[in-house]
Amino acid sequence: MNHLFPIEHSYLIPLLPLLGAVISGFFGAKWLKGKSHWPIWLGVGASAVLAGWLMAGMIQHAHAEHHGAIWLNQNWYNWISAGNFSANVGFLFDPLTAVMLCVVCGIGFLITVYAAGYMKGEEGYFRFFAYLGLFIFMMTMLVMGNNFLMMYLGWEGVGLSSYLLIGYYYQRPAAREAAKKAFLVNRIGDFGFGLGILLIFLAFNTVGFFDGGRGDLGVLRLAASNLADLSAFQVEALKWIPFLLMLGAFGKSAQFPLYVWLPDAMEGPTPVSALIHAATMVTAGVYMIARCGTLFVGNTAAMWTIALVGAFTALFAATIALRQFDLKKVFAYSTVSQLGFMFVGVGVLAPVAGVFHLVTHAFFKALLFLSSGVVMHAMLGELDMRKMSGLKRVLPITRWLMLIGCLALAGFPFFSGFFSKDEIVAAAWARHSLLGLVMLFTAFLTAYYTFRLYFRVFEGPLVQPQAPVPGHGAHDTPAAHSTDMAPDAHGANSARDAAAAHDAHGAHGGHDSHHSHEPALMILPLIVLALGALLAGYLNWPEYHGRSWSLGEFLGQSPSLRLAHTTAVARLGAGEIAPVPFGQPEITDARVVMQQQAFHLRMMIISGLVSALGIYLAYLMHLKDRAASEKLARRFAGVARLLEGKYWVDEIYQNGIVEPLRRLAKAFYAVDRYVVDGVVWLIGFVPQLAGFSIKLVSQRGYLQGYATWMLFGVLVILLLVLW
């Protein structure tokens, strides 16, 4: 494996996108202009090819190794060396890295292609692509890093790119606020992560994952050793480290207390929402927990916290998504909810299921976001689903793409989301049936809100937003039907959103009047993503357990998952382990395998039925009789308002945390301004006053007076000398 080109020259994978970002960032404004996407296309494309190559080589190697762990630690240079602290710039290659790299670079490339079509003619086109390249660089650093410091670097870096891209339309106050919010909320989580890394270093004296960098063992291997071999402090630290790291994961992956930034992040351009806020960056928390499994699994309380927070977030966000009317907002809450699923996956000791859902979710959620981007493009920046209907006549291709994405998200049988979600539900069920039930119910809600959106937007009578937005005058819009639409219950809010969306596309003026609603540059990447959304589920076809090409088997050869498994077995006993492939290919007991398969089959049938039921309910309420849902909403006006207000979490945070902090800051400001500054001013004033009064006596403009003072001074010196 050492001689594989992408590993020998692994630095190319992060550096090529960075190079692209530098080129389009520095030369884009003046020279590249509308061609600024080329450096990024080439850079990210090349990284995607390298990632695919790496994956192919890794799979071959995995076959050769049978069921052994495969990993390669590669140090490029010593980054920091201070006292007994040492951190390398180095990469770790194992199946988990390979999978993450393929997702990041592959989907990243598709989205950059789409973005060139979507962002065409925007102001600051080069800026967008430079940020995108920077993001891919940071994300690859995050998933490739072989120590916690590298991971933290990438972690902060993607946060920065996310901030820059959310605030891309910085002229709009909403975008600025959203960018700041995302950054600040992430800081809370990152603070925990940073403390976690400090504690890890204190306890284990290294920050390397598997290799300490100085010929010693890395943290993850040390943490996997017998409890008896660990010092008391290390055992104590292992109780706290997972909680600190978890805080970082909750922030980055938008889990319950810290999820509020993600829906607001939809202020960014749609490709950004797809890439960063759905497919890649937000899954970093899941990746981190999967990577550091050995630190987590021994700690039952931490694992339960992860699972419960994930389950709660999944349910909570899914209910909010029920009453959102903005396409992107629905998908944003859906992303939060699906991330909750992934956390449940890693929390119930089924990291393979979590990572598997991460992969399939990356495909179908990117597809859904980008498709809604096509809708937004065609509908003149409109995203309110109450103002559109029957769009399948206008956007025939997008309709099919969206349908595939929705079926995958809804977990309809044989689409990708079905397999991955089913594994998580099964694992959760095996852990505790109540947890499984909550996940099943959430899956039902997911199917319902997904198809509510689909039926509203693409089926039924054709309705398009009428008033062309200024700057879009050139669009030839078919005369819009002004039929009745749902009563505007949440008028003010949606009007603001719509206005924001209009602004976003205000720069689109000057399009020729006969361009298609579905430009090829935007549709082609979507077709690839749709294929992924259709087929990614077969990567981990559960029946093919014994075969070594399933994703679970492959991931099972990652040292992270393997060590986590052995640690979990050692600390908790085999009974605690979820009966889903936890990367434990050594299960050869045919009876156990059979049991697992039967369990899975039952689970699959149930979750398939649940999904179909959700879709059917959506069909009843949103296609057959659209008034029905509004009637229901009026019946339960309180609940509807609660959901539309997103449980007023933002308001609670605003009034409960932000405002008190602001008042505290004001008080501190007053103390600083009047007390501290006053003392400083007083100290400065004393010599000033003294100088002034002496000046009144001595400095009067008489030359002779000065001479007298000089003489006096000389006399004093003389006196002192002669004394």
Partner 1 sequence: MSDLVLQHYLAVGAILFVIGLIGFMTRRNLIVMFLCTELMFQGVAVNLIAFGRYHLAESSQSFFASQSFVIFLLVIAAAEASLALGLVVLLFRSRQTLDAEAWRELL
Q: Which residues bind partner 1 (CB under 8 A)?
A: 699-704, 707-708, 711
Judge whether 18 and 47 are in contact, CB under 8 Å: no
Give me the least distance between CB of 30 and partner 1, in Å please: 54
**Looking at beta carbons only, is 513 or 704 nearer to partner 1?**
704
Judge whether 390 and 326 are in contact, CB under 8 Å: no
Give me the least distance between CB of 684 and partner 1, in Å please: 23
Q: How many CA atoms lie within 13 A of 33 on its CB side?
A: 3
Rounded-to-10 torsion of CA 212, 216, 220, 222: -150
Give me the least distance between CB of 699 and partner 1, in Å please: 5
The tokens describing 718, both together, are: 């003389």
d(CA 537, CA 133): 29
**Looking at beta carbons only, is 239 or 695 nearer to partner 1?**
695
**Looking at beta carbons only, is 670 or 707 nearer to partner 1?**
707
Give me the least distance between CB of 721 and partner 1, in Å please: 16
DSSP 138-163: HHHHHHHBSBHHHHHHHHHHHHHHHH
d(CA 449, CA 337): 12
Give me the least distance between CB of 681 and partner 1, in Å please: 27
**Looking at beta carbons only, is 703 or 721 nearer to partner 1?**
703
**Looking at beta carbons only, is 547 or 700 nearer to partner 1?**
700
Give me the least distance between CB of 697 and partner 1, in Å please: 12
d(CA 49, CA 42): 10
Give me the least distance between CB of 26 and partner 1, in Å please: 55
**Looking at beta carbons only, is 680 or 707 nearer to partner 1?**
707
Residue of 403, 421, 469, 367 lying closest to 619 (CA atoms): 403
Give me the least distance between CB of 706 and partner 1, in Å please: 10
Question: Rg of the Cα trace of the chain?
Answer: 30
Judge whether 646 and 321 are in contact, CB under 8 Å: no
Give me the least distance between CB of 695 and partner 1, in Å please: 9
**Looking at beta carbons only, is 483 or 699 nearer to partner 1?**
699
d(CA 472, CA 160): 32
- Torsion over CA: 400, 402, 404, 410 (sign): negative
**Looking at beta carbons only, is 33 or 695 nearer to partner 1?**
695
**Looking at beta carbons only, is 64 or 707 nearer to partner 1?**
707
Give me the least distance between CB of 700 and partner 1, in Å please: 6
d(CA 533, CA 541): 14
Q: How many CA atoms lie within 13 A of 269 on its CB side?
A: 29
**Looking at beta carbons only, is 226 or 704 nearer to partner 1?**
704
DSSP 523-583: HHHHHHHHHHHHHGGGGG-GGGTTSTTSHHHHHHTSHHHHHHHHHHHHHH-GGGS-SS--S
Between the CA of residue 372 and those of 316, 320, 542, 544, 604, what are the distances in Å? 23, 19, 32, 35, 29
d(CA 350, CA 342): 9
Give me the least distance between CB of 703 and partner 1, in Å please: 5
Helix H or strand E segment including 75: strand 72-82
**Looking at beta carbons only, is 668 or 712 nearer to partner 1?**
712
**Looking at beta carbons only, is 516 or 699 nearer to partner 1?**
699
Give me the least distance between CB of 716 and partner 1, in Å please: 16
Give me the least distance between CB of 704 and partner 1, in Å please: 5
DSSP 292-354: THHHHHT-HHHHHHHHHHHHHHHHHHHHHHHT--BHHHHHHHHHHHHHHHHHHHHHTT-HHHH
**Looking at beta carbons only, is 202 or 715 nearer to partner 1?**
715
**Looking at beta carbons only, is 60 or 708 nearer to partner 1?**
708
Residue of 351, 352, 305, 315 lying closest to 336 (CA atoms): 315
Give me the least distance between CB of 701 and partner 1, in Å please: 4
d(CA 112, CA 200): 37
